């Protein structure tokens, strides 16, 4: 080791500098290394990640198929039954997301393919947002919060300007206005962690994570208390007019997808690629990401680069939120999907390349769209539950008369036994409180019932008169034994 702490050229031991490196720094180093990799290396890494994920998914599908219970298993080996077919799962996942392109009569305008392209369009913006920050050596994981802020800003701006316009003129003016409002909102929210990192040396990983939660809570407060739709119980703004949304060309308007929005996303991809590869600012940004010390020595203002890169990254995320409002939802509503967090995976899979982000976004659009197809296509048909049958010993005992056969309800549940026990306990306590009066009342009721039954026929009255001494004696003895009978639990018939 040299005197200044760097690595020396001698034969002495070299310290491991990665031991004290925090995980945000390691993530940043990985993002920078991906940015410096060649196109072939990035393609190999992406393909290897896809193949490995499919192998892991196959293991999970097989494990779930062995645990599940189904009526018609796809495979039976000895006592093991497999309810899920991994081949069928991936067939529905990929081909189902495209609307079964191998089937007859397939049309690219089908509903499932529209869902795939809809998800792809928004993921292109979030993937570009993360990739741009990664190319500058900044790990921006606050795209979700920037998307939420941009979505709300776009919705409020369009709602404010919509009453002054209508028709085709409204479409031409309001859609660009909404996109611009989303870019401004997301860019402003992305500039906050940029300023904190450039001038306060705050870690952008921590600040962007925290600002995600701040964005969600602040937006929820603003919508619920100030911009709430009075005709809805959900936390949402008023709906945008139809002329203020992206027009759906060729596709069904109910599918909430527009080819115009997809074309705009591809145009933004081309703009970002040109910015990074053919402009001096893109060169400074890439140099600052790969070699910060060399870039600063060459005259690059590192603080300005950090702030502008995070601002542009947040603007791209805000545009994604605006597209979500103007194309998919038609209003702002609480519970925005996690497109921002998916954009991190899209960017890493694309190797932080704007062109590769399109294909990675399409892959994740297929996964999100095909997951619903897999859910319905591979759901196992379980056998209906059968009633519990008594054992053979119980059946023989019930037939012989020693044990009564169980009723249709089966054994008493614990709650039912507890209710009967409480009923018996309350009856016992009430008898104790009444004392001997209950016995005298019961004996008087028995005498009145015997008197009524005795008046029906003369023969029965003679028998009752003849047996009156014995009845009085039995009633006397019953009154004497009342205290002992109260101490004993009630009979089965009484219970």
pLDDT at 257: 93
**What are phi and psi for residue 96, nearest 5 degrees?**
-65, -35
Our measurement of the distance from residue 149's CA atom to the centroid of its chain's CA atoms, rounded to an integer in Å, reads 21
d(CA 447, CA 128): 97
Compute the 3-state secondary structure of the chain and give helix, strand, coil in percent, each to the nearest 5. Answer: 70, 0, 30
Q: Which residues contact 341 (CB under 8 A, 6 or more apart)?
A: 141, 143, 144
pLDDT at 73: 83
Task: Supply the DSSP string of 132-147, one letter for each residue.
Answer: HHHHTT-----HHHHH
Instruction: Check if the beta carbon of residue 361 is closer than 8 Å to that of residue 190.
Output: no
Token pair listed for 221: 């407060």
Tens of each residue's pLDDT in the chain, 495 residues? 444 444 444 444 444 445 556 666 665 566 556 555 666 777 788 788 889 999 999 999 899 888 888 888 888 877 888 888 888 888 888 888 888 888 888 888 888 999 999 999 999 999 999 999 998 888 899 999 999 999 999 999 999 999 998 889 999 999 999 999 999 999 999 999 999 998 998 999 999 999 999 999 999 999 999 999 998 889 999 999 999 999 988 888 889 999 999 999 999 999 999 999 999 888 888 888 777 777 777 788 888 889 999 999 999 999 999 999 999 999 999 999 999 999 999 998 888 899 999 999 999 999 999 888 888 877 655 444 444 444 444 444 444 544 444 444 444 444 455 455 555 566 555 555 554 444 444 445 555 555 555 555 444 444 444 444 444 444 444 444 444 444 444 444 443
pLDDT at 420: 56
d(CA 433, CA 486): 11
R_g over Cα of the chain: 39
Element (H, E) at 226: none
Domain boundaries, the chain: 110-370
Element (H, E) at 101: none
Instruction: Check if the beta carbon of residue 357 is closer than 8 Å to that of residue 131.
Output: yes
Instruction: Kindly report whether the global pTM for this prediction surpasses the value 0.95.
Output: no
Instruction: Check if the beta carbon of residue 136 is closer than 8 Å to that of residue 302.
Output: no
H-type helices in 109-244, by residue range?
111-135, 143-161, 167-200, 204-225
∠ CA 418-419-422 to the nearest 5 degrees? 85
pLDDT at 50: 86
Q: Which region, left, alpha or beta, applies to residue 137 given φ > 0 means left and ψ of -120 to 50 means alpha? A: left
DSSP state of 300: -
Q: How many CB atoms lie within 10 A of CB 382?
A: 11
Instruction: Check if the beta carbon of residue 271 is closer than 8 Å to that of residue 319.
Output: no
Q: What CATH number has the domain spanning 110-370?
A: 1.10.3470
Element (H, E) at 76: strand 75-77
∠ CA 180-269-127 to the nearest 5 degrees? 85
């Amino acid at each position: 080791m040299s005197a200044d702490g760097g690595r020396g050229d001698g034969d002495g031991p070299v310290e491991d500098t990665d031991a004290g490196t925090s995980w945000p720094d390691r993530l940043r180093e990985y993002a920078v290394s991906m940015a410096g990799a060649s196109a072939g290396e990035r393609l190999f890494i992406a393909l290897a990640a896809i193949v490995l994920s499919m192998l892991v998914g196959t293991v999970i599908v097989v494990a779930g198929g062995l645990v599940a219970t189904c009526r018609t298993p796809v495979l039976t080996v000895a006592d093991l039954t497999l309810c899920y077919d991994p081949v069928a799962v991936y067939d529905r996942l990929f081909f189902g997301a495209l609307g079964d392109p191998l089937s007859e009569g397939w049309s690219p305008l089908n509903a499932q393919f529209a869902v795939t392209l809809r998800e792809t369009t928004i993921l292109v913006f979030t993937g570009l947002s993360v990739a741009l920050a990664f190319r500058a050596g900044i790990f921006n994981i606050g795209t979700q919060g920037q998307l939420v802020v941009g979505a709300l800003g776009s919705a409020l701006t369009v709602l404010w300007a919509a009453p002054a316009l209508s028709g085709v003129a409204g479409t031409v003016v309001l859609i660009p206005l909404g996109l611009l409002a989303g870019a401004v909102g997301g860019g402003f929210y992305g500039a906050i962690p940029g300023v904190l990192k450039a001038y306060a040396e705050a870690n952008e990983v921590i600040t962007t994570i925290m600002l995600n939660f701040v964005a969600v809570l602040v937006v929820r407060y603003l919508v619920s208390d100030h911009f709430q739709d009075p005709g809805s119980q959900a936390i949402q703004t008023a709906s945008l007019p139809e002329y203020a949304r992206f027009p759906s060309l060729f596709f069904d308007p109910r599918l909430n997808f527009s080819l115009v929005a997809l074309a705009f996303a591809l145009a933004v991809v081309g703009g970002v690629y040109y910015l990074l590869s053919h402009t001096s600012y893109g060169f400074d940004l890439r140099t600052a990401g790969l070699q910060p010390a060399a870039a600063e020595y060459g005259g690059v203002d590192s603080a300005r680069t950090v702030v502008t890169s995070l601002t542009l990254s947040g603007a791209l995320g805000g545009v994604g939120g605006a597209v979500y409002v103007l194309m998919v939802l038609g209003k702002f509503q609480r519970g925005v999907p996690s497109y921002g967090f998916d954009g991190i995976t899209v960017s890493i899979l694309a190797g932080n390349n704007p062109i590769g982000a399109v294909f990675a976004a399409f892959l994740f659009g297929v996964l999100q769209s095909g997951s619903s197809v897999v859910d319905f296509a591979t759901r196992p048909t379980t056998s209906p539950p059968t009633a519990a049958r008594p054992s053979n010993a119980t059946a023989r005992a019930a037939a012989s008369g020693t044990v009564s056969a169980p009723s249709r309800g089966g054994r008493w549940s614990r709650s039912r036994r507890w209710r009967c026990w409480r009923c018996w306990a309350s009856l016992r306590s009430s008898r104790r409180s009444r004392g001997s009066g209950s016995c005298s009342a019961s004996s008087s009721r028995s005498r009145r019932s015997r008197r009524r039954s005795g008046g029906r026929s003369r023969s029965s009255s003679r028998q009752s008169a003849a047996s009156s001494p014995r009845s009085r004696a039995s009633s006397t003895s019953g009154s004497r034994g009342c205290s002992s009978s109260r101490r004993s639990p009630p009979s089965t018939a009484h219970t």
